[in-house]
Amino acid sequence: MKNKQKILFISGSPREGNTNFVLKQVHDLIDNDYKELIFLKDLNISHCKGCLSCHEKPKCIIKDDMEMLYKKMINSDIFVIGSPNYFDNVSGIMKKFMDRCHPFYKQDIIKDKKIILIFVGGGEIEGTEKYLNLSFYGFVKYLKLKLIDSYSFRALELNDIKSKDISNDISKITEKINSL
């Protein structure tokens, strides 16, 4: 049975490597016509200025590709967000994206939307999962999202993950998404 919920995949990798590979694998196996995969590296997203204008109305004063992403997020039911592990944190472009979601903080526009997190790091999987879950903690909490699960993979060099059998892990993720 086809999932009718709109699923937005967002990759926070600055390169075409392991994180993008995992997200593409999951994206391609989801039985859903309402899915989209976005690569933050291909977008023009400025840094948050911290002006707090978005506290008055759910709109950012910065005009860039986040305007398009806001609309896609509002119109989606599920977010599948992936980030590489950089020094036990999310990538710089992922952090920039997260900060720019501040217009959703004072509003309930994306409240209760489901989120699945996918992490890829060169160190031990347990460390990647621990620290990147902490990195996303405030994002999930303050935007009032429903964290469904997080998954971590180990890969360091550009295409490490392609040489590993991750099919069981990919199946677990797609089954979880298809069950939502």
Residue 33 has pLDDT above 90, yes or no: no
In the chain, what are the domain boundaries? Answer: 7-179
pLDDT tens-digit series, residues 97-142: 999 999 999 888 999 999 999 999 988 889 999 999 999 999 999 9
Average pLDDT for the chain: 93
At 91, list the tokens.
Answer: 């990538």
Neighbours of 120 (CB within 10 A): 27
Please give the pLDDT value at position 2.
60
The answer for residues whose C-beta is within 8 angstroms of residue 83's C-beta and 6 or more apart is 11, 12, 13, 19, 90, 91, 94, 117, 118, 119, 120, 132, 135
Position 123, amino acid: G
The CATH topology of domain 7-179 is Rossmann fold (3.40.50)
Q: For residue 149, list its beta bridge partners.
A: 116
Average pLDDT of span 132-156: 95
Q: At what angle do helices 18-29 and 167-179 cross, to 10 degrees?
A: 50
Average pLDDT of span 32-49: 95
Residue 3 has pLDDT above 80, yes or no: no
Please give the pLDDT value at position 157.
80
